[in-house]
């Protein structure tokens, strides 16, 4: 193997940081805020299926910006770690700190050992029994981890959104007010808004992905705020948002006596069936 040029370690790290930062700054922003009953995630995300915010475990949530394929594989790894730990010990033994540490070590190792660093920034949030015990961990592409109070902003316009949130944010806001504070801050510097958000308009519900970790919910605290619930929290400023697709399967009917998948060839769960069957004959 030849080493045609020498590059100092400092130079290599600087180049990688710059590369990762550039990648992250192209994306839209995500804000994670604490509120009276837990933690609120607000992502500027026009897609209703490619999520930036997700559930890791009972009291733990995840938000990310950057390259989708990279943070998605990290999210899946987090869910796996949480489920393996919860299954082999007890559900109580899964903590946000464990997940955040695993992310920090993984991101750190990738940053130093691989040519291309991950272009992602993550937030791992955990709700406790009271607002004092809520935790927000911010993880950057180089594996550094910071425990933040109040809120975390990540993504392209992070600085502008953070500045806006510093003015408006107060601890212990009710959900609707915390959401308005967050959406206003995101809208003010969103490239999707007319005049780069210099106007007073708010991002419509269809451009937002909102979820909460609500400490009042038993066991699984994570809940997506979608559809009519989001519309009413936003004061219906943004028109109807898409409903969540939590159970979108082809309709099924009970078929006692017929093993699943061995029934009518036209049924959605039976393999095969005619490509040009008689059912198609009358159409087209």
Partner 1 sequence: MDGLTQSHTGRSGFPPAYLDRVGSSFTDFLATAAPDLLPSRRQVPSVNAGDLTPHGTTIVAVTYAGGVLMGGDRRATMGNLISSRDIEKVYPADTWSVIGIAGAAGIAIEMVKLYQVELEHYEKIEGLTLSLDGKANRLAQMIRGNLGAALQGLAVVPLFAGFDLDAAAGTTPGRIFSYDVTGGNYEERGYAAVGSGSLFAKNSLKKTWRSGLDGDAATRTVVEALYDAADDDSATGGPDPVRRLYPIVYRVDAEGAVRLTDAEVAGIADTIVGERAAADRENVDRGF
Looking at the Cβ atoms of 112 and 131, the one nearer to partner 1 is 112
73 contacts partner 1 (rule: CB under 8 A): yes
Binding to partner 1 in span 197-236, by CB under 8 A: none
Q: Identify whether the C-beta of residue 206 lies closer than 8 Å to the C-beta of residue 46.
A: yes
**Helix or strand or coil: residue 173?**
coil
Among 8, 49, 130, 284, binds partner 1 (CB under 8 A): 49
Among 33, 43, 74, 202, binds partner 1 (CB under 8 A): 74
Token output for 210 = 């909102």
Among 240, 243, 252, 280, binds partner 1 (CB under 8 A): 252
Which among 39-47, 82-90, 180-188, 201-209 is the span making contact with partner 1, rule CB under 8 A? Answer: 82-90
Which among 80-88, 144-152, 177-185, 271-279 is the span making contact with partner 1, rule CB under 8 A? Answer: 80-88
Q: Identify whether the C-beta of residue 182 lies closer than 8 Å to the C-beta of residue 189.
A: no
Measured from the CB of residue 275, what is the shortest distance to partner 1 in angstroms? Answer: 23
Q: Distance between the two ends of the chain, CA-based, in angstroms?
A: 62
Q: Identify whether the C-beta of residue 241 lies closer than 8 Å to the C-beta of residue 208.
A: yes
Cα–Cα distance for residue pair 88/67, rounded to 1 Å: 32
Burial of residue 194 (CB within 10 Å: 0-12, 13-18, 19+) is exposed
Contact positions toward partner 1, by CB under 8 A?
Answer: 49, 51, 54-56, 69, 72-74, 76-77, 79-81, 83-89, 101-109, 113, 245-261, 269
């Amino acid at each position: 193997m030849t080493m045609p040029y020498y590059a100092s370690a400092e130079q290599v790290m600087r180049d990688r940081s710059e590369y990762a930062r550039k990648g992250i700054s192209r994306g839209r922003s995500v804000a994670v805020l604490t509120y009276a009953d837990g933690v609120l995630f607000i992502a500027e995300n026009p897609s209703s299926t490619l999520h930036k915010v997700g559930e890791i475990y009972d009291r733990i949530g995840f938000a990310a910006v950057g390259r989708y394929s990279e943070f998605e594989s990290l999210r899946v790894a987090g869910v796996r770690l949480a489920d393996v730990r919860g299954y082999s010990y007890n559900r109580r033994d899964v903590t946000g700190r464990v997940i955040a540490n695993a992310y920090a070590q993984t991101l750190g190792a990738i940053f130093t050992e691989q040519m291309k660093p991950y272009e992602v920034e993550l937030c791992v949030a955990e709700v406790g029994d009271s607002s004092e015990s809520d935790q927000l961990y911010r993880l950057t592409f180089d594996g550094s981890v910071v425990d933040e109070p109040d809120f975390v902003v990540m993504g392209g316009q992070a600085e502008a959104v953070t500045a806006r949130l510093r003015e408006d944010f107060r601890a212990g806001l009710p959900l609707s007010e915390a959401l308005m504070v967050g959406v206003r801050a995101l809208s003010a510097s969103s490239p999707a808004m007319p005049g780069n958000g210099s106007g007073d308009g708010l991002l419509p519900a269809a451009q937002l992905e909102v979820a909460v970790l609500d400490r009042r919910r038993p066991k699984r605290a994570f809940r997506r705020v979608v559809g009519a619930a989001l519309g009413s929290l936003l004061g219906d400023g943004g028109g109807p948002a898409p409903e969540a697709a939590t159970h979108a399967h082809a309709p099924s009917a009970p078929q006692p006596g017929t093993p699943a998948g061995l029934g009518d060839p036209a049924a959605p769960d039976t393999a095969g069936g005619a490509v040009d069957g008689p059912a198609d004959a009358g159409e087209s």
